[in-house]
A = this chain, B = another copy of it.
Amino acid sequence: MNTSARMLRLLSLLQTHRYWPGGELADRLEVSPRTLRRDIDRIRELGYDVDAVRGVSGGYQLRAGSTLPPLLLEDEEAIAIAVGLHTAASGAVAGLEETAVQALAKVIALMPPRLRRRMEALRSQTDGVPWGGGPVVDATVLSVLAQACRDDEPVGFVYTARPRDGRAAEPTQRRVEPHRLVSLGRRWYLVGYDRDRQDWRSFRVDRMRDATTTGHRFRPRELPAADAASFVQAGIRSAPQRYDVRVRFAADADTVAAYVGRWATVEPAGAGCVMHMPSDSLDWPLMVLAHLDSEFTVEGPAELVDAVARVGERFARAVPRGGGSGRGSIKG
């Protein structure tokens, strides 16, 4: 076996089990103990911290050093990472979306097909808990786009444009030189140069289907804007989130803010506060209203007023008249 190959294997061994007696490592790598010691030295020279314990039942241990060593992952671990990144990319943690997609693209691009299949199978389970609402973005599309951006490869996809004047648009095939992915609000946008329309556009990723790359490359053009994010913002100022939720609470601003976190802005108003939350779905606002034990008034939109009324009536029908504190009201 090659020296380089042996080093990788040694790194891998050191990552799977914390303590390794030198003798066992030497056996596994089929070298003499002396050479193993030299290998450990080499790993140290690469900047990775290897801790050694002397004496009886001593051994080696890879520790956190100054840089992250190359990760040698089991199949299962790789899948867990990919699935985890997928949720991170879909906006579970603010400000992490872009990096998560970048990392996801890297991992997916290197994953053997069999792992990719298993990942897809598992990933499909994450849907179905629409706790935040909003259109679901296909992680595969996202990672194809991320990689295409990174590598300057044109992408093709089927795009269904936003309905204009109430008429739904037909899906059309696009060929685009991708520039950057931007995560704004709770949506993903691709900024790129549309080859057919010969102009810069931003595309909503959740409206794309069948994204593919050709494998060729293009010479990057200069974006006619300060940065991709502002380009997107300039384009979508007319079509923000679907609902513009505004609710007045009797509770104080801190209590409300602590619960809704970064998904909404909360401002003190009189004795209570006003919450402002752009949202694609009414589920999340409704949950906030149900959870916060505070009187409130919905200031808009009308759909939320309707929803609150409907839920209120349905809940009222669900419990026996006069219920609300009594124990005897339970059935069964």
Query: Out of B83, B147, B261, B318, which one reaches A296, CB within 8 Å?
Result: B318
Q: How many copies does the complex hold?
A: 2
Closest B residue, CB atoms, query A313: B324
What's the dominant secondary structure at chain A's contact region? helix
The B-contacting residues of A in range 294-312, CB under 8 angstroms, are 295-302, 305-306, 308-312
Residues from chain B with a CB closer than 8 A to the CB of A31 are none
CB–CB B259/A15 < 8 A:
no
Residues from chain B with a CB closer than 8 A to the CB of A4 are 3-4, 7, 42, 46
The B-contacting residues of A in range 118-151, CB under 8 angstroms, are 122-123, 125-126, 128-129, 131, 147, 150-151
CB–CB A64/B113 < 8 A:
yes
- As a 0/1 sequence over residues 51 to 94 of chain A, the CB contacts with chain B under 8 angstroms (1 = contact) are 00000010000111111111111011111110111111100111
The interface size of chain A toward B, counting residues with CB under 8 Å, comes to: 114
The B-contacting residues of A in range 1-17, CB under 8 angstroms, are 2-5, 7-8, 11-12, 15, 17
Closest B residue, CB atoms, query A247: B318
Q: Beyond A18-B147, A79-B99: 16 further Cβ-contacts under 8 Å?
A: A63-B109, A64-B112, A80-B99, A80-B102, A83-B93, A83-B96, A84-B85, A84-B86, A92-B126, A93-B122, A128-B258, A131-B131, A246-B332, A299-B332, A308-B315, A313-B316
